[in-house]
């Protein structure tokens, strides 16, 4: 088993480059099963979740080659429509196979997906939407079998703008008969990227990035090449780490508009933020103050950066109030931050963070992906040595985070324990 050993207290400094977004790459790789040809996807991050998605595609009968940051997926001879349960459990994004397989073959068997434990994370919107498109759904012994002779365009209104349900339903609707309208759709940049890929393949979709998405079904999808958008959550994590350590960090290759709410919050805390084209720089040398933050669907402050920002605010002057509006149980990192000397009280979806002068190194364990990133940031901020276990959670979403941070001057090592 691996752990990170971090000697904290060094301000990060320098330039780094962000890679492709996990949360865009995963649905796009799943969408390739609808293409009866070869899809070429570039800018794919080398992450555990991407490897699981490739294993799923191979189990379905696809030929997949992953070289450097390019994945070539040949789905001409796809034969299997059941996603193995052990792979389903490995990540939330396994559910993205539901829409595409149903669309292409009229049948799919999945089971409850895994992923970060940050709330109940049901899939009822996905299933309700598939039913609205004409699918029959049987749930037995933990398996979910969806079938349809044909899918038909329909009107679907989501109770909450779910990212995954919006993506799954767009994919199911792409090959359906007629027009599907998804209302209260999620607007995240990753959805816009999925739609950009599908449109290159010949799909007829309008409204991505707005709350109303219209999909007019087409007969088939053709081969296409696509480059994944940069990972706004990784970019945000590195910028927050830079500011939290009182350092100066520039992240290249980002899309600043995707980070609007995040950059605004950093500025609200008194951190200097400069944007020059695709380079975002933060300067935290003058320190920062407490502030209130609420997570919301895009374009609001992303829930995936709530934990990293909380780590930063543990030593801010004053009291911060953090409200988590997207997931009902996304504060599991708090216990370990307390172990490191933070002063935080949680009441359901609200965390009150009273700034303390400093954090202290401790032995802690990541229990989910972004909570793990928060512990890394806390370790970089803390006096003394922090040992972080549970690295598989962090590796699901950050490509060699230790290497990136070392390049910025951090004293972090991956050790075998
Ligand atoms: C692979 C991927 O892209 N993951 C992201 C995606 O997760 P994911 O797509 O799972 O998140 P959703 O947007 O679907 O979830 C938002 C809320 O809706 C609820 N819900 C969702 C679906 C459903 O059928 N029923 C239901 O009640 C969830 O429990 C949650 O409370 O968006 C989240 C919100 O930005 C991010 O934190 C995740 O990083
Ligand atoms: C929650 C996340 O991932 P997943 O939806 O794959 O669990 C995340 O990327 O922060």
Please give the C-alpha separations between residue 224 and each of 5, 36, 38, 42, 107, in angstroms, as whole numbers: 43, 11, 7, 11, 24
User: Which residue ranges make up the annotated binding site for phosphoenolpyruvate?
Assistant: 22-23
Give the tens place of pLDDT for each residue, 208-219. Answer: 999 999 999 999
Site to substitute for ligand 1 among 162, 184, 300, 328, most atoms within 8 A of C-beta: 162
Closest residue to atom 30 of ligand 1, CA basis: 327
Q: Structurally, how many domains does the chain consist of?
A: 2
Q: Which residues are catalytic?
A: 116
- Same-domain status, 132 and 210: yes
- Same-domain status, 216 and 185: yes
Closest residue to atom 6 of ligand 1, CA basis: 163
- Ligand 1 centroid to Cα of residue 125, in Å, is 10
Give the tens place of pLDDT for each residue, 345-393. Answer: 999 999 999 999 999 999 999 999 999 999 999 999 999 999 999 999 9
User: Which residue ranges make up the annotated binding site for UDP-N-acetyl-alpha-D-glucosamine?
Assistant: 92, 304, 326
- Same-domain status, 220 and 328: no
Beta strands in 121-247 (DSSP E): 136-140, 143-147, 155-157, 179-183, 204-206, 212-216, 225-227
Please give the C-alpha separations between residue 401 and each of 116, 259, 283, 393, in angstroms, as whole numbers: 18, 20, 20, 12
- Same-domain status, 223 and 234: no
Give the tens place of pLDDT for each residue, 132-187. Answer: 999 999 999 989 999 999 999 999 999 999 999 999 999 999 999 999 999 999 99
- Same-domain status, 12 and 49: no
**Across the strands, what pairs with 275?**
280
- Same-domain status, 240 and 355: yes
Site to substitute for ligand 1 among 117, 164, 236, most atoms within 8 A of C-beta: 164
Ligand 2 contact via 369 beta carbon (within 6 Å)? yes
- 104 by DSSP, 3-state: which? helix
Give the tens place of pLDDT for each residue, 7-41. Answer: 999 999 999 999 999 999 999 999 999 999 999 99
- Same-domain status, 151 and 241: no
Beta strands in 293-374 (DSSP E): 293-294, 319-323, 343-347, 350-354, 363-365
**What's the rounded Cα separation, in Å, for the pair 327 and 242?**
26
- Same-domain status, 13 and 34: no
- Same-domain status, 163 and 312: no
User: What average pLDDT does the chain have?
Assistant: 97
Last residue of a domain, one of 205, 227, 249: 227
- Same-domain status, 8 and 35: no
Ligand at shortest distance from the CA of 166: 1
Q: What pLDDT does residue 116 have?
A: 87
Closest residue to atom 9 of ligand 1, CA basis: 164
In the numeric block, the tokens 């001057």 are attached to 409
Asked if the model's pLDDT at residue 79 lies above 90, the reply is: no
Range of the domain at 195: 22-227
388, containing H or E segment? strand 385-389
- Same-domain status, 204 and 246: no
- 217 by DSSP, 3-state: which? coil
Ligand at shortest distance from the CA of 397: 2
Q: What pLDDT does residue 115 have?
A: 86
Last residue of a domain, one of 179, 203, 227: 227
- Same-domain status, 323 and 179: no
- Ligand 1 centroid to Cα of residue 307, in Å, is 16
Asked if the model's pLDDT at residue 262 lies above 90, the reply is: yes
Cis? peptide before 299, omega within 30° of 0: yes
For residue 85, give the CATH number of its domain.
Answer: 3.65.10.10
**What's the rounded Cα separation, in Å, for the pair 245 and 156?**
46
- Ligand 2 centroid to Cα of residue 49, in Å, is 10
Ligand 1 contact via 26 beta carbon (within 6 Å)? yes
Residue 55: name the closest of 14, 106, 89, 19 by CA.
89
Last residue of a domain, one of 176, 193, 227: 227
């Amino acid at each position: 088993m691996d752990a990170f050993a971090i000697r904290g207290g060094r301000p990060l400094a320098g330039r780094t480059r962000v890679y492709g977004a996990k949360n865009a790459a995963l649905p796009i790789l799943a969408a390739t099963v609808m293409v009866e040809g070869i899809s070429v996807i570039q800018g794919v991050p080398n992450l555990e979740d991407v490897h699981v998605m490739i294993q799923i595609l191979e189990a379905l009968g696809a030929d997949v080659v992953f070289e450097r940051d390019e994945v070539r997926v040949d789905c001409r001879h796809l034969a299997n429509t059941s996603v193995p349960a052990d792979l389903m459990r490995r990540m939330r994004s396994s559910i993205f196979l539901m829409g595409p397989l149903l669309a292409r073959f009229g049948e799919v068997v999945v089971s409850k997906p895994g992923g970060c434990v940050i709330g109940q994370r049901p899939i009822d919107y996905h299933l309700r939407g598939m039913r609205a498109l004409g699918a029959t759904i049987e749930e037995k012994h933990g398996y979910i079998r969806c079938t349809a002779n044909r899918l038909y365009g329909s009107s679907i209104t989501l109770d909450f703008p779910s990212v995954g349900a919006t993506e799954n339903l767009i994919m199911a609707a792409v090959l359906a008969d007629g027009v599907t309208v998804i209302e209260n759709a999620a607007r995240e940049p990753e959805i816009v990227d999925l739609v950009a890929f599908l449109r290159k393949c010949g799909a007829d979709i309008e409204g991505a990035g707005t709350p109303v998405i219209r999909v007019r079904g087409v007969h088939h999808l053709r081969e296409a090449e696509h480059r994944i958008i940069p990972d706004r959550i990784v970019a945000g994590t590195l910028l927050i780490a830079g500011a939290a350590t009182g350092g100066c960090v520039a992240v290249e290759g980002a899309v600043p508009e995707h980070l609007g709410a995040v950059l605004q919050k950093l500025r609200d805390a008194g951190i200097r933020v400069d944007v020059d084209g695709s380079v975002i720089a933060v300067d935290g040398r003058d320190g920062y103050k407490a502030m209130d933050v609420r997570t919301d669907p895009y374009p609001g402050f992303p829930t995936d950066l709530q934990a990293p920002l909380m780590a930063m605010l543990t030593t801010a002057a004053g009291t911060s109030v953090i409200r988590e509006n997207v997931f009902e149980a996304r504060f599991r990192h708090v216990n370990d931050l307390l172990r490191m000397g933070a002063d935080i009280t949680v009441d359901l979806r609200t965390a009150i963070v009273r700034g303390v002068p400093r954090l202290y190194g401790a032995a802690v364990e990541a229990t989910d992906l972004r909570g793990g990133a928060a512990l890394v940031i806390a370790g970089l901020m803390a006096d003394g040595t922090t040992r972080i276990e549970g690295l598989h959670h962090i590796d699901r979403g950050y490509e060699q985070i230790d290497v990136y941070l070392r390049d910025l001057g951090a004293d972090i090592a991956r050790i075998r324990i």
